[in-house]
């Protein structure tokens, strides 16, 4: 079986989809599947990662790459009568790793849907405001088209699987859960770990937008400062939709001198931040998976996370879960972890064990099974036999 994969996010995207695509392919190669991969990399953007960083050196995975604008590719396919499966030299299964569908001529299609958050704001004036309504409607329509075309729909957790069925109309028998990995952080951990920082700090890693709940976390941090705790708060991540509210609140905050914004952080530096932080504060309002808590756990850092959407499923009993709209609960959870050694040590132990359960090798193995199922699946709807 030969598989084509949309590899463009791996080349140019430093965030979640890019991480997923890079590590999935690395995992597939680790299973000895490299010779069966055609990696579609047509994009004008210069790649951010070398072949060595991508894990493609000394492998026979084929990177099919022409430097051309991605927006030209649909027209190119129409004019030539080809599909993207032809551009990777033919394949039995083609995997769309991002919500940017390209024409596939013959291969069975597999898509990954990471969340359905956009559906909450699509044509809904009473939505939570996580995205611009027009953008949300366009993303929802595109996701429904992906679901309609796909033989198999990959989701990172059962929570998203249920949302894909309810919000996008997917047949449950086409949905497969392939949890993400967090073991990529281990390559950046030095023997013996990192030295303690000069000043203790709390860390939040995410795009700064309304959904991530930074304003309430700021209020909780202000309480920690008022209580006399010595910590700084490092907020690592680029600005996003609705992030202006946080920037305005931060500008007026009595604790603003203790808050450090890091808009761009490299992979190795991020692992250092995880490892040196006393706490990962991650009270997001809605997540499709939530990789930073697991990354922090893998680095030996305790986590405060939300008890909504995917996060209880992903974190299990290894994080201190809170109601994300309750600033008092966020504050109290953070305060306890920072001041109660027994609680902190217990969460570190639980987190280390939990992180070991999420590997890219396991993600790749489950994905290979899904590829095979897609290649063998006919046009009839599959039986509902607990694919979640």
If asked whether residues 57 and 41 sit together in one domain, one would say yes
CA angle 331, 337, 340 (to 5 degrees): 120
| pLDDT at residue 387 in the model | 46
Asked whether residue 51 falls in the same domain as residue 164, the answer is yes
Burial-class residue 70 by CB neighbours within 10 Å (0-12, 13-18, 19+). middle
Is 13 a member of any domain? yes
Asked whether residue 387 is domain-assigned, the answer is no
In a domain, 38, yes or no: yes
Residue 351 sits at φ, ψ, to 5 deg, of -65, -40
237: nearest Cα among 299, 173, 280: 280
Closest by Cα among 289, 273, 319, 255 to 154: 289
Does 188 lie in the same domain as 125?
A: no
Q: What is the CATH number of the domain that holds 121?
A: 3.40.50.2000
pLDDT greater at residue 383 or residue 79 = 79
Which residue, 47, 7, 48, is CA-closest to 29?
A: 7
Specify whether 252 is located in the same domain as 202.
yes
Residues 70 and 122 in one domain: yes
Q: Is residue 70 part of a domain?
A: yes
Q: Is residue 381 part of a domain?
A: no
pTM of the model: 0.94
Same domain assignment for residues 371 and 265: no
Predicted local confidence at residue 220, as pLDDT: 98
Pairwise CA distance, residues 377 & 369, whole Å: 12
List Cβ<8 Å contacts ≥24 apart for 192-200.
193/275, 193/300, 194/272, 194/275, 194/276, 195/276, 196/276, 197/276, 199/230, 199/231, 199/232, 200/230, 200/231, 200/232, 200/278
What are the backbone dihedrals phi and psi of residue 154, each rounded to the nearest 5 degrees, phi first?
-95, 135
**Backbone φ and ψ of 384, nearest 5°:** -90, 100
3-state secondary structure of 352: helix
Residue 262: inside a domain: yes
Reported confidence tier of residue 52, pLDDT bands at 50, 70, 90 = confident
- Mean pLDDT across 376-381: 77
pLDDT above 90 (res 143): yes
- Note whether 152 and 362 are within 8 A (CB): no
CA 70, 72, 76, 79 torsion-angle sign: positive
Residue 316 lies in a domain: yes
Comparison of pLDDT for 100 and 325, the residue scoring more:
325
On whether both 146 and 248 belong to a single domain, the answer is no
Whether 149 and 297 map to the same domain: the answer is no
Domain residues for the domain of 303 are 183-356
Give the mean pLDDT of 170-177: 96
Residue 371 located in a structural domain = yes
Output the CA angle 103-105-110, nearest 5 degrees: 70
Same domain, 112 and 232: no
**Residue 220 and residue 148 share a domain:** no
Q: Are residues 197 and 339 in the same domain?
A: yes
Domain tally, the chain: 2
Task: Give yes or no: residues 292 and 371 share one domain.
Answer: no
Section 87-93 average pLDDT: 96
């Amino acid at each position: 079986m030969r598989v084509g994969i949309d590899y463009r996010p791996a080349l140019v995207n430093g965030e979640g989809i890019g991480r997923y695509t890079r590590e999935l392919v690395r995992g597939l190669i680790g299973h000895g599947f490299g010779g069966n991969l055609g990696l579609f990399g047509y994009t004008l953007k210069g790649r951010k990662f070398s072949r060595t960083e991508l894990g493609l050196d000394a492998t026979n995975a084929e990177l099919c790459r022409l430097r051309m604008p991605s927006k030209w590719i649909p027209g190119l396919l129409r004019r030539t009568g080809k599909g993207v499966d032809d551009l990777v030299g033919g394949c039995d299964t083609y995997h769309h790793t991002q919500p940017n569908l390209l024409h596939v001529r013959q291969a069975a299609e597999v898509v990954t849907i990471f969340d359905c958050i956009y559906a909450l704001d699509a044509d809904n004036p009473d939505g939570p405001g996580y995205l611009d309504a027009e953008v949300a409607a366009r993303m929802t329509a595109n996701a429904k088209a992906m679901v309609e075309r796909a033989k198999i729909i990959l989701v990172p957790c059962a929570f998203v699987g249920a949302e894909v069925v309810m919000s996008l109309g997917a047949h449950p028998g086409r949905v497969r859960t392939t949890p993400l990995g967090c073991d990529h952080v281990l390559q950046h951990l030095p023997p013996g770990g990192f030295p303690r920082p000069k000043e203790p700090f709390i860390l939040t890693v995410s795009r700064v937008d309304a959904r991530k709940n930074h304003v309430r976390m700021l209020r909780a941090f202000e309480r920690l400062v008022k209580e006399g705790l010595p910590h700084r708060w490092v907020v690592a991540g680029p600005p996003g939709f609705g992030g202006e509210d946080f920037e305005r609140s931060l500008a007026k905050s009595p604790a603003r001198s203790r808050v450090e914004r890091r808009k761009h952080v490299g992979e190795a530096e991020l692992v250092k931040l995880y490892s040196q932080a006393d706490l990962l504060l991650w009270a997001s309002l809605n997540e499709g998976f939530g990789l930073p808590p697991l990354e922090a756990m893998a680095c030996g850092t305790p986590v405060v996370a939300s008890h909504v959407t995917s996060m209880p499923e992903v974190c299990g009993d290894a994080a201190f879960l809170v109601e994300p709209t309750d600033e008092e609960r966020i504050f109290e959870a953070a305060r306890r972890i920072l001041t109660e050694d027994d609680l902190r040590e217990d969460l570190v132990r639980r987190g280390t064990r939990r992180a070991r359960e999420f590997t890219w090798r396991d993600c790749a193995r489950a994905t290979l099974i899904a590829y095979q199922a897609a290649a063998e699946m006919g046009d009839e709807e599959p039986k509902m036999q607990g694919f979640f």
